[in-house]
Amino acid sequence: MKEILKITASLTGVCVAAALLLGAVFAKTEHARKASEERIKQETVQDLLGFGAGNIPADLKIYKIHRYVVKETDGKVLLGYVVPLKEKGFGLVEVDLSGKAVKTIPIQAEAAQLADKSGTDAVLKQALPKGTEATYAETLYVADRGGKRLGYVVPGVTQGFKNFVRLMVSLNPEFVVTGVAITESEEDPGLGDKIKDDFFKNQFVGKTLDLLKELKVVKEPLPGDYLPALDPAVAKKDRLSPEKISEIRAKHVKDDIYAITGATISSRALTTGVQETVRKFVYRLGILDAALKQENVAAAF
Amino acid sequence: MNRNLQLLWNGFLPENPIFRLALSLCPAVAVTTSVKNGLLLGIAVVFVQVFSSCTVAIFRSFIHPRIRIPAYVLIIATWVSVIDMILPVVSPEAYKQVALFVKLIVVFAIIISRLELFASKEPFVPSFYDGLGMGIGFTFGLVITGAIRELFGAGKLYGFDVLGFEPLLIMILPTGGFFVIGFIMATFNYLEFKITGKIPKSGGAH
């Protein structure tokens, strides 16, 4: 009896000590971790739009649209989009599940408050009537340059080989894929991890909506002339001109995705991920545009 | 030779975790598709092994023998989580590279085996050197395996193109990992037989 008490006390002690240590470290690092995550996200978005670090033009404007799932007090579920308005402030445009606009709630807040998830959560809690729950889903990015639409950056998620793969797809105004980035993945190093490599993810560049719908993964080797056009490092070694690269890419634009050797599942996962992300985004943007028109909301983008 | 140095050396060759103790072969096979991956995992293991060994050595009298295994797992998991939380703040770039490997470490056999066989019986300083030696030995094993597999599988070394073509794809696949580790083990045993004239016993205190 005494023995079992001793064991219990010992194990409890170890657990409490571990929990205290973890809690302390978490409290100290959480803020900095979130900030650095947000910064990396911003850099990824800029990168996908074709602007590297320190190379951002002054007339480039990136608008964030936060998508929320809003649960009203009577149990009705709506989708809410937090949209920046042309005049000052923001609006929460709510649409029902069939895609019809329901209402728009004006939100008085600074842009800095709505920069990330936790800030927007707090603002929405104040703006919405009591008892209404708003759950963050994702942030869509709309980029304008000099008053003209430059493109969109859309986050997505797909089931990888063992765990979720989070990705971002950039589209031009005609919904042609202009870039793919992997933001979070736990694929096997050396195999599935190659979905992050340029030679694979650049195969999606140039795919239009129609091509994406029919896109398949083929277990064939990558054509020899295609590789230099996909991988900038190889292009540099082969001294390929940008015109030559776009010529080769145009030749292969109708090709299916060439699977990574030994990692067909990861290749397929990213392909379906890109397809689904783009399909859902185009559908949602259509609904949002219709809702904005119907509600007479002048959005900033 | 002084005992601490001997402990370091012990982990490096005589009781090398991969080639002699044959522990933690799953991660060794899974990750060593390139030198860089092997090196990064190795460095992550060095830290977790040293921290865990030292913690167990300090608190060994408080840990009741009947619950030592859950206590060890907790200690390792705590250190892994702490590193996983601190590293992205200290160096986001480095974290991007090793994030995948750090999370794998909790269940490594080599770490818990060193806690059970060494750190739970020895004081702080020898435990530190034993942990360091084992970590370095593990890194050494991963790098050698990674080098052979990367060279023959992808024709590269540390990401640099050496051969210009890919000789044997099987080397990159898990099968190749077992082949390479088996061959290296055999080579080590052969060399030891040649030098000492004795047939090597299986290492460790198992």
Question: What confidence score (pLDDT) does residue B1 get?
Answer: 63
**Residue B202 belongs to some domain of the structure:** no
pLDDT in tens, A93-128: 888 888 788 888 888 888 777 877 888 888 888 888
**Residue B186 belongs to some domain of the structure:** no
Mean pLDDT check: name the lowest of A107-111, A149-153, B67-71. A107-111
Contact A188 B92 (CB under 8 A): no
Name the strand (E) or helix (H) holding A229: helix A227-230
Question: What confidence score (pLDDT) does residue A259 get?
Answer: 92
CA distance B160 to chain A (A): 12
- Virtual torsion, Cα B161, B164, B165, B166, nearest 10 deg: -20
Residue A79 reports pLDDT greater than 70: yes
d(CA B56, CA A252): 59
Contact B71 A10 (CB under 8 A): yes
pLDDT in tens, A170-210: 999 999 999 999 988 888 777 788 899 889 999 999 999 99
Judged by a CB distance cut-off of 8 A, whether residue A233 touches chain B is: no
Contact B77 A10 (CB under 8 A): no
pLDDT in tens, B29-65: 888 888 888 888 888 899 999 999 999 999 888 888 8
> In B, which residues are within 8 Å of A26 by CB distance?
85
> In A, which residues are within 8 Å of B75 by CB distance?
14, 18
> In A, which residues are within 8 Å of B31 by CB distance?
189-190
Q: Which amino acid is located at A11 in the chain? A: L
**Residue B59 belongs to some domain of the structure:** yes
Q: What angle do CA B73, B75, B76 make, to 5 degrees?
A: 65
**Residue B153 belongs to some domain of the structure:** no
**Residue B78 belongs to some domain of the structure:** yes
On the 0-12 / 13-18 / 19+ scale of CB atoms within 10 A, A9 is exposed
Q: What angle do CA B148, B149, B154 make, to 5 degrees?
A: 115
d(CA A49, CA A151): 7
> In B, which residues are within 8 Å of A40 by CB distance?
92
d(CA B4, CA B203): 19
The ipTM is 0.76
Q: What is the 8-class DSSP label of residue A299?
A: B
What pairs with residue B92 in β-bridges? none
pLDDT in tens, B144-192: 999 999 898 888 888 788 787 778 878 888 888 899 999 998 898 888 8
Domain residues for the domain of B51 are 3-144
Which of A11, A33, A186 is the closest to B85 by Cβ? Answer: A33
Q: What is chain B's mean pLDDT, rounded?
A: 86
**Residue B158 belongs to some domain of the structure:** no
Judged by a CB distance cut-off of 8 A, whether residue A188 touches chain B is: yes
Would strands A133-145 and A101-107 be described as parallel, antiparallel, or unpaired? unpaired
Q: What is the largest CA-CA distance in chain A?
A: 82
Contact A18 B78 (CB under 8 A): yes
**Mean pLDDT along residues A235-263:** 87
Give the E-state strand segments of A33-130 in sequence order. 60-71, 77-84, 90-95, 101-107
Closest residue in B to A12 (Cα) is B71
pTM above 0.90, yes or no: no
- Virtual torsion, Cα B24, B32, A198, A217, nearest 10 deg: -70
The SS3 assignment for A80 reads strand
Contact B67 A6 (CB under 8 A): no
Closest residue in A to B153 (Cα) is A190
Pairs across A and B, CB distance < 8 A:
73
Where do we find the tokens 């995948």? B100
Residues of chain B with pLDDT > 70: what percent?
A: 96
Q: What is the largest CA-CA distance in chain B?
A: 57
More confident call, B29 vs A271: A271
Judged by a CB distance cut-off of 8 A, whether residue A16 touches chain B is: no
Which of A22, A29, A32 is the closest to B78 by Cβ? Answer: A22
Contact B71 A186 (CB under 8 A): no
Q: What is chain A's mean pLDDT, rounded?
A: 87
**Residue B195 belongs to some domain of the structure:** no
> In A, which residues are within 8 Å of B37 by CB distance?
189-190
**Residue B58 belongs to some domain of the structure:** yes
More confident call, B150 vs A298: B150
Residues 25-44, chain A: which have Cβ within 8 Å of B?
A: 25-26, 29, 32-33, 36-37, 40
The pair of three-digit structure tokens given for residue A234, joined into one six-digit string: 């190889």
Contact B88 A36 (CB under 8 A): yes
**Total structural domains within chain B:** 1
